């Protein structure tokens, strides 16, 4: 408490340089400065329209708004088949992702892994894990190839999406035309594999009014040591954060 009082006194002295004495005294009487630190205040009230910014033009929205939703909203005109995508994939993608999407080194595996989600080491790929085919298109067009994003045409993105869905046996026919109408209708194997955050109910035991403080069970033993792992698991066994 003495600390906060001395801070108030310091502020009062500092304020007295610029403020009339009466105000400096008022400052001293009401320790506002320290209170502001402890209690964040609500945003200041403000008019709804500030007259800042300008309307976006249709060309500008068209240039940036490339996102695609699972219902197909945002898919551009265009088309492509797995057969067309194959050549493109070998040229633009296989250096990192392998010829069939099997992955090179630590780069992401894009195919395979079906039925491994309950395994000790799940293989989460487009085919085994991703719920929506539209995400493949959105992500390729947004961020791939790594290091040369936004270099693919709408048709090329359809062809590459078709190739990857074909490598994952989601599209069996290499001549099937993926386009604005057909992509959103593609059903992914793991489409039903996700549910909303349920921690409030499934982990409600973690809310505990009186956690144990004294004599809480038997003396513990060490069962694992980071030093034994030596910080360097081999590259396939190591955890991924990509």
Partner 1 sequence: MSQKPPSDILDRRRFLGAAGLAGAGVLLPLAAKAGEAAKPDPAITEVQDWNRYLGDGVDKKPYGVPSKFEKDVIRRDVSWLTASPESSVNFTPLHAIDGIITPSGVCFERHHGGVAEINPAEHRLMINGLVDTPMVFTMDDIKRMPRVNKVYFLECAANSGMEWRGAQLNGCQFTHGMIHNVMYTGVPLKVLLEQAGLKPNAKWLMLEGADSAGMNRSLPVAKALDDVLIAFAMNGEALRPENGYPLRAVIPGWQGNLWVKWLRRIEAGDQPWQAREETSKYTDLMPDGRARKYTFVMDAKSVITNPSPQAPLKFKGRNVLSGVAWSGRGTVKRVDVTMDGGRNWREARIDGPVLDKSLVRFYVDFDWNGQELMLQSRAIDETGYVQPTKAELRKVRGVNSIYHNNGIQTWLVHPDGVTENVEIA
Binding residue for partner 1, selected from 4, 16, 94, 135, defined by CB under 8 A: 135
Short-list 81, 87, 107, 110, CA closest to 95: 107
Tokens of 116: 């491994």
Query: Which of these ranges, 3-11, 18-26, 176-184, 219-227, lies near partner 1 under the rule CB under 8 A?
Result: 219-227
Burial class (CB within 10 angstroms; exposed 0-12, middle 13-18, buried 19+) of 111:
buried
Q: Show contacts with partner 1 in window 156-185 (CB under 8 A).
A: none
Binding residue for partner 1, selected from 13, 14, 90, 146, defined by CB under 8 A: 146
Name every residue whose Cβ is closer than 8 Å to that of residue 98 and which is 6 or more positions away in sequence: 104, 109
Least distance to partner 1, CB of residue 136, Å:
8
Binding residue for partner 1, selected from 31, 113, 134, 164, defined by CB under 8 A: 134
Cα(242)–Cα(232) distance, integer angstroms? 17
Q: Show contacts with partner 1 in window 97-126 (CB under 8 A).
A: 105-108, 117-118, 122, 124, 126
Name the residue nearer to partner 1 (CB basis): 22 or 201.
201
18 forms part of the interface with partner 1 (CB under 8 A):
no
Least distance to partner 1, CB of residue 9, Å:
20
Cα(239)–Cα(220) distance, integer angstroms? 27
17 forms part of the interface with partner 1 (CB under 8 A):
no
30 forms part of the interface with partner 1 (CB under 8 A):
no
Query: Which of these ranges, 9-17, 86-94, 157-165, 228-236, lies near partner 1 under the rule CB under 8 A?
Result: 228-236
Q: Are 115 and 128 in contact (CB under 8 A)?
A: yes
Backbone angles phi, psi at 30, to 5 degrees: -115, 100
239 forms part of the interface with partner 1 (CB under 8 A):
yes
Give me the count of residues in the chain.
242
202 forms part of the interface with partner 1 (CB under 8 A):
yes
Interface with partner 1: number of residues (CB under 8 A): 90
Tokens of 14: 């500092």
Q: Show contacts with partner 1 in window 45-64 (CB under 8 A).
A: 46, 48-50, 52-56, 60-61, 64
Least distance to partner 1, CB of residue 134, Å:
7
Q: For residue 200, how far is the Cα from the chain centroid?
A: 22
Short-list 130, 197, 126, 193, CA closest to 165: 126
């Amino acid at each position: 408490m003495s600390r906060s009082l001395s801070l108030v006194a310091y502020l009062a002295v500092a304020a007295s340089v610029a403020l009339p004495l009466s105000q400096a005294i008022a400052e001293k009487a009401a320790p506002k400065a320290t209170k502001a630190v402890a209690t964040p205040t609500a945003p200041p009230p403000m008019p709804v329209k500030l007259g800042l910014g300008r309307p976006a033009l249709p060309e500008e929205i068209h240039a940036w708004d490339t996102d695609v939703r699972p219902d197909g909203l945002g898919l551009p005109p265009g088309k492509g088949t797995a057969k067309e995508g194959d050549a493109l994939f070998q040229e633009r993608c296989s250096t990192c992702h392998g010829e069939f999407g099997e992955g090179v080194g630590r780069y992401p595996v894009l195919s395979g892994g079906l039925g491994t989600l309950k395994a000790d080491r799940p293989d989460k790929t487009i085919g085994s894990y991703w719920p929506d085919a539209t995400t493949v298109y959105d992500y390729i067009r947004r961020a791939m190839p790594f290091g040369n994003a936004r270099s693919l045409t709408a048709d090329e993105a359809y062809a590459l999406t078709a190739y990857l869905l074909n490598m994952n046996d989601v599209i069996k026919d290499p001549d099937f035309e993926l386009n604005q109408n057909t992509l959103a209708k593609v059903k992914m194997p793991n489409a039903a594999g996700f549910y909303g955050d349920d921690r409030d109910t499934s982990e409600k035991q973690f809310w505990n009014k009186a956690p144990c403080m004294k004599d809480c069970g038997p003396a513990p033993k060490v069962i694992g040591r980071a030093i034994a792992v030596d910080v360097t698991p081999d590259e396939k066994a190591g955890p991924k954060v990509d």
